């Protein structure tokens, strides 16, 4: 390891199921498939390179005073202060394989203006809505009692509550509506099944927007068709080929 941690992040986890399902794929294309990727939540770490090091950060554009979605070269002794995550709740930190071994592929950067470069947005698209009567385009505020298991929201205006259902499978992005009317979006570490009514599913490409939300942030839902949601996925797939420029 050519990095020492001067101050750890509030939470720093190797991610098999990241909140932003695209971050890991993009960063692996940026640094090579044997890069290690960490999801840092609420604060990032202070790092110091002990030798020449290459790393990359995945975060919304402008959240950090460092370039994102492209390799950052550090020389021995250089520090990176990632404590303040300018208005977003998490970042992805990718460390290239040890500089003594050869990188697995040529390094790349994500082209400026590419849809792969995430931006923070409270607009959450739903690729499925169970019942239009329970759909609300009102604003919902993220509560502090949220984590990777579930994002809990408070409705700004009174929303009709859901009913109890025979337990059914839940996945990351399932929107549950408990009788209180305050929705919960199931997170990547959330339950496998649940008995609060599932009223909608967040479109895959909107999961990226959930990843950056901070308690107090507002979101609003909108509906898109499943076909449109799949088209957005394929657009990002195409961008993975088109927008990664060798550097």
Partner 1 sequence: MKFEPVKNNILNKISACWISERELALTFNQALDQDLATEGMPRILNARVRRNISQSRHPDDAKVVLGANCVHITWDIESSARKLARESQTILDQAIQWLGALLQEEANKSSDSSANDLIAKKILITTKYGDAAEISHDLEKIARENQLTTAEILQRHLATTYVVAFPGFQPGFAYLEPLEGSPKIKAPRHETPRAKVPAGAVALGGPYCGIYPADGPGGWNIIGLTAMRFLDPTNGRDTWQPGDLVQFVEEIK
Q: Which residues contact 182 (CB under 8 A, 6 or more apart)?
A: 143, 152, 153, 154, 155, 159
- For residue 99, the Cα-to-chain-centroid distance in whole angstroms is 27
176 in Cβ contact with 183 (< 8 Å): yes
Contact window for partner 1 (CB under 8 A) among 34-42, 56-64, 82-90, 233-241? 233-241
Q: Which of 54, 57, 96, 203 binds partner 1 (CB under 8 A)?
A: 203
| Stretch 122-151 residues interacting with partner 1 (CB under 8 A) | 127-128, 130, 145, 149-150
| Secondary structure of residue 173 in the 3-state scheme | coil
* Residue 237 lies near partner 1 (rule: CB under 8 A): yes
- Alpha-carbon distance of 24 to 240, in angstroms, equals 12
Q: Which of 131, 168, 220, 242 binds partner 1 (CB under 8 A)?
A: 168
Find the shortest distance in angstroms from Cβ 4 to partner 1. 32
Q: Which of 97, 104, 182, 218 binds partner 1 (CB under 8 A)?
A: 182
| Secondary structure of residue 16 in the 3-state scheme | coil
Q: Which of 115, 122, 195, 215 binds partner 1 (CB under 8 A)?
A: 195
Per-residue burial over 81-114, b = 16 or more CB atoms within 10 Å of its CB, e = otherwise: ebeebeebbbbbbbbbbeeeeebeeebbbbeeeb
Contact window for partner 1 (CB under 8 A) among 26-34, 81-89, 111-119, 170-178? 170-178
* Residue 184 lies near partner 1 (rule: CB under 8 A): yes
Q: Which of 100, 101, 158, 193 binds partner 1 (CB under 8 A)?
A: 193
- Alpha-carbon distance of 166 to 67, in angstroms, equals 48
Contact window for partner 1 (CB under 8 A) among 38-46, 87-95, 134-142, 198-206? 198-206
* Residue 161 lies near partner 1 (rule: CB under 8 A): yes
- For residue 41, the Cα-to-chain-centroid distance in whole angstroms is 10
Contact window for partner 1 (CB under 8 A) among 1-9, 89-97, 100-108, 200-208? 200-208
* Residue 194 lies near partner 1 (rule: CB under 8 A): yes
| DSSP codes of every residue in 31-83 | H-TT-EEEEEESS--EEEESSSEEEEEE--TTSSSS--SSEEEE-TT-EEE--
Q: Which of 100, 227, 241, 246 binds partner 1 (CB under 8 A)?
A: 227
* Residue 21 lies near partner 1 (rule: CB under 8 A): yes
- Tell me whether strands 174-177 and 184-186 are parallel, antiparallel or unpaired: antiparallel
| Secondary structure of residue 197 in the 3-state scheme | strand
List of residues contacting partner 1 (CB under 8 A): 21, 25, 127-128, 130, 145, 149-150, 161, 164, 166-169, 171, 173, 178-180, 182, 184, 191-196, 198, 201, 203-204, 226-227, 229-231, 233-234, 237
């Amino acid at each position: 390891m050519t990095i020492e941690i001067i101050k750890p992040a509030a939470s720093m986890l190797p991610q098999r199921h990241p909140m932003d399902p695209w971050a890991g794929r993009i960063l692996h294309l940026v640094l090579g498939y044997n890069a290690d990727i960490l999801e840092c939540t609420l604060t990032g770490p202070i790092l110091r390179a002990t030798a020449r090091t290459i790393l990359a950060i995945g975060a919304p554009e402008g959240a950090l005073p460092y370039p994102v979605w492209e390799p950052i070269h550090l020389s021995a002794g250089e520090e990176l202060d990632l404590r303040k995550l300018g208005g977003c709740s998490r970042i992805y930190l990718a460390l290239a394989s040890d500089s003594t071994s050869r990188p697995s592929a040529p390094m790349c950067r994500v082209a400026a203006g590419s849809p792969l470069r995430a931006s923070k947005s409270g607009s959450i698209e739903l690729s499925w809505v169970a019942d239009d009567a329970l759909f609300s385009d009102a604003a919902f505020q993220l509560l502090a009692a949220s984590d990777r298991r579930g994002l809990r929201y408070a409705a700004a205006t009174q929303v009709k509550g859901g009913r109890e259902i025979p337990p059914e499978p839940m996945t990351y992005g399932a929107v549950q509506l408990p009788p209180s009317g305050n929705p919960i979006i199931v997170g990547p570490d959330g339950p496998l099944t649940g008995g609060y009514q599932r009223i909608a599913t967040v479109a895959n490409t909107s999961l990226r927007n959930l990843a950056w939300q901070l308690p107090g942030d507002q979101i609003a839902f909108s509906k898109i068709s499943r076909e449109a949601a799949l088209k957005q996925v394929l657009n990002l797939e195409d961008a993975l080929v088109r927008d990664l420029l060798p550097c």
